[in-house]
Structure 1
Amino acid sequence: MSTRDAVSFAPLRIPLVRWLLVLLWVESLAVAAYLVVTPVHVDDVRYVVYPFVWINVGVAAVLWTTLPETNRQLRLVAGVVAVAYFFLLAALSGLVSVDFGALLGSGAHAAGGHTHAAGGHPTGWQFSLAAPGWGPRFGYSSGALSVAFIPYRVVGYLALSYLVYAAVLDTARAALSGTLGLVSCVGCTFPIVTGLSAGLAGGTGVASALQTLSVDLSTVVFVAAVAVLVFRPNARGKTKQ
């Protein structure tokens, strides 16, 4: 390692570890405060820990990843892909849902001058407290469109989208340089399983066993997806050490 490499190594690594330690400290205080002020009994500790696995792994992966230098056109394309990818995960996991039947029928309801809650569900803004990481939760429903904010899911999907953004930049640059870099796109498609597993296991009730383990499975898939994207072939030598 050259002197220049050694000098640039320390400033990148020390703040990363420091910020992660600060994040862990804040999370621990938040959990302790929540358990003190609310009459909540923790039956299974892993459900308290899982949201922070998503948050901490996602934050660490983003801080660890260095974006390659590319032109504005490639950044724009990668940005569009990343945004679309985020909304795909959000839709698969139920953070965003659209009732096209209600949407197409909204004109008839509006003509009658009445507003109804679709399927008996409340409309408007909702807010609820929950354990740190799981909450606080808030969302909005208009009957045709529903949007929910669950902290650990949003942070995790934003992190995955950022990593996909970096992967697309790497792949596009490799393709333009004549290198067969499309193999790294496996890392872009694999994390979709994260949202799919959350949507199937946690939202549709396909199987009671999957429902019971939905958080466990989605957490495992999320961590694996982050690992695939961070340590994909084209990312070698591009992660912050």
Structure 2
Amino acid sequence: MATARALSDFSRSSLLHAAFAVNTTLILAFVYLLFTEASVGAPRYAIYGVTWVGVGLWVLFDTTVTPASTATKRKAAAVALGYFALLAVAGGLITSPVPGGDGGLRVAFLPPGWGPALIYGGGVFNLVLMPARVIGYAALAYLVYDTVVEAAGAAVSGVVGLFSCISCSWPVIASFATSVFGGGTAIAATVTVLSYDLSTAVFLITVVLLRWRPGFGK
């Protein structure tokens, strides 16, 4: 009975957090479209962008980190920051400068979720900070942080256990794979056309796997 009640409370809490995340995302998207020059564009891309933001906010609102010592949490934070940095590079938040590209800071009014994007062009690196990617990668990093904290208390090595599970490592591998295929091959064309579809699918499945965490007692 106690277990059933706990599961019921957890489900109710998660649903409330999900509703809050969805409502917040939709309100922000509506205000963004109303007061800027942005447009929805292709509906599918707008849906993907809103999905990234909504799911990312839900993860950040709903994830309760496993209790642990301060030292463990510091180590987990270092791993999570490194993981976010990998995603930022693999996912295109941080790129090398483009010869002849626009320099300085500007805002791009992309479809909801992907915009407003803060873009910086510099001589050393470029930044393309789209809300969907920033919030989505932050959510994944936070789930990784919780995973490392939990794994540190288990009978496995936190870091080894983390990167031996595909649910943690495959969004990085998938992002790098889409950038490795170059040239005019059919694979490259397919990856380019379906990049938003594939990245959204990888993001959603990774969220599910990191929340469930098979092999970590979840």
TM-score tier after normalising by the smaller chain length: 0.7 to 0.9
Q: Is the 8 A contact 2:148 2:162 kept in 1?
A: no
Equivalent residue, structure 1, for 2:99? 119
Equivalent residue, structure 2, for 1:182? 161
TM-score by length of 1: 0.73
Equivalent residue, structure 2, for 1:77? 75
Matched residue pairs, number? 213
Structure 2 Cα separation of the partners of residues 52 and 198 of structure 1: 22
Offset of residue 40 of structure 1: 4.4
SS in 2 for 1:175: coil
Task: Identify the match of residue 231 of structure 1 among 196, 212, 216.
Answer: 212
Equivalent residue, structure 2, for 1:53? 51
Task: Identify the match of residue 172 of structure 2 among 185, 192, 212.
Answer: 192
Task: Identify the match of residue 195 of structure 2 among 214, 218, 222.
Answer: 214
Equivalent residue, structure 2, for 1:150? 130
Q: Which amino acid aligns with 1:46?
A: R
Structure 2 Cα separation of the partners of residues 39 and 232 of structure 1: 38
Structure 1 Cα separation of the partners of residues 212 and 144 of structure 2: 12
Structure 1 Cα separation of the partners of residues 63 and 11 of structure 2: 12
Offset of residue 228 of structure 1: 1.3
SS in 2 for 1:139: strand
Q: Is the 8 A contact 1:140 1:148 kept in 2?
A: yes
RMSD after superposition: 3.3
Equivalent residue, structure 2, for 1:2? 2
Q: Is the 8 A contact 1:89 1:157 kept in 2?
A: yes
For the structure 1 residues 56 and 200, does the alpha-carbon distance in structure 2 shift closer, same or farther, using more than 3 Å as the test?
farther
For the structure 1 residues 97 and 229, does the alpha-carbon distance in structure 2 shift closer, same or farther, using more than 3 Å as the test?
same
For the structure 1 residues 80 and 232, does the alpha-carbon distance in structure 2 shift closer, same or farther, using more than 3 Å as the test?
same
Q: Which amino acid aligns with 2:210?
A: L
Task: Report the identity percentage.
Answer: 29
Q: Is 1:133 matched up with 2:113?
A: yes
Offset of residue 175 of structure 1: 3.1
Structure 2 Cα separation of the partners of residues 16 and 183 of structure 1: 25
Offset of residue 170 of structure 1: 1.4
Structure 2 Cα separation of the partners of residues 204 and 18 of structure 1: 47
Offset of residue 69 of structure 1: 1.2
Task: Identify the match of residue 95 of structure 1 among 86, 93, 96.
Answer: 93
Q: Is the 8 A contact 2:171 2:206 kept in 1?
A: yes
TM-score by length of 2: 0.80
Offset of residue 41 of structure 1: 6.8
For the structure 1 residues 168 and 92, does the alpha-carbon distance in structure 2 shift closer, same or farther, using more than 3 Å as the test?
same
More displaced 10-residue stretch of structure 1: 185-194 or 146-155: 185-194
Structure 1 Cα separation of the partners of residues 99 and 45 of structure 2: 30
Structure 1 Cα separation of the partners of residues 183 and 140 of structure 2: 23
Equivalent residue, structure 2, for 1:166? 146
Structure 2 Cα separation of the partners of residues 149 and 212 of structure 1: 21
Q: Which amino acid aligns with 1:2?
A: A
List gaps (5 residues or longer) in structure 1. Answer: 100-117
